[in-house]
Structure 1
Amino acid sequence: MTLRLKPHVSLTDTETGMVVLDEDSGRYFELNQPAATALRALLDGADPAHAAALLAGDRPDLIERATTDLRHFLQQLTDTGIAADTGVTAASDTCGTTAGTALRTAKAWRKGSR
């Protein structure tokens, strides 16, 4: 799976993670550090299972939750129009779960919404 952001999306790293800007709508989304790490890994070509493993770190007991969180995160990327539809939703079905404390996707993605 190769995650692709839509052309009107820009990323900026911050001290606490990353800001994703939809230049067409002016909406922005603030990601915490774990979400930013997952997004960077996916954009660099990592598959969802690898990105979930990065989030779980040395805690194999968290891999299932990391995979579930990552699946939701990928869905949010497509639902908000940030990521291209091609392959993202289908590929997200192959991932497991991410650490619960690693991704607070709903909160992180909604925090910057206008």
Structure 2
Amino acid sequence: MSTAFAKHVTFTRTEYGGVVLDRKKGRYWQLNPTAVLVTDTLGEGGSVADAVRRVSREFAVNEQRVQHDVTELLDRLRASGVLRA
């Protein structure tokens, strides 16, 4: 499962999380701090399970709920072409 941003994508941290810019399509997405924690974990070589555990601990949320949300986030980023296929 690829978790790297595509080459035509720029990620910038902000005060409120981060912004992902798709330079090819001229579209951008704002990521909240939770989504940034997920992308950071995966970008550091962690697994989806690592990201789920990290978010669950950091934000005191049930792991089952976090698993659903992380999967949805990654599915949406892949579908939009922001993550490498």
Give aligned pairs, total.
84
More strand, by proportion: 2
Query: CA offsets, 1:37-77, max 9 Å, x none?
Result: 11111111110001011111164x61000001000011011
4+ runs of 1 displaced by more than 6 Å?
none
Alignment-derived partner of residue 27 in structure 1: 27
Deviation of the 1:3 alpha carbon: 1.3
- Cα distance in 2 for partners of 1:37, 1:20 equals 14
- Cα distance in 1 for partners of 2:75, 2:68 equals 11
SS in 1 for 2:41: helix
Letter in 1 for 2:37: T
**Which residues of 2 match residues 1-114 of structure 1 at below 5 A?**
1-57=1-57, 59=60, 62-85=62-85
Deviation of the 1:25 alpha carbon: 1.1
Listed as ranges, the gaps of 5+ residues in structure 2 are: none
TM-score normalized by the length of structure 1 = 0.69
Query: CA offsets, 1:5-46, max 9 Å, x none?
Result: 111000000001000000111100001111111111111111
SS in 2 for 1:37: helix
TM-score normalized by the length of structure 2 = 0.91
Listed as ranges, the gaps of 5+ residues in structure 1 are: 86-114
SS in 2 for 1:57: helix
Letter in 1 for 2:47: D
**C-alpha RMSD over aligned residues:** 1.4
Percent identity, please. Answer: 31
- Cα distance in 2 for partners of 1:22, 1:2 equals 17
C-alpha contact 1:20 1:30 (8 A) present in aligned 2: yes
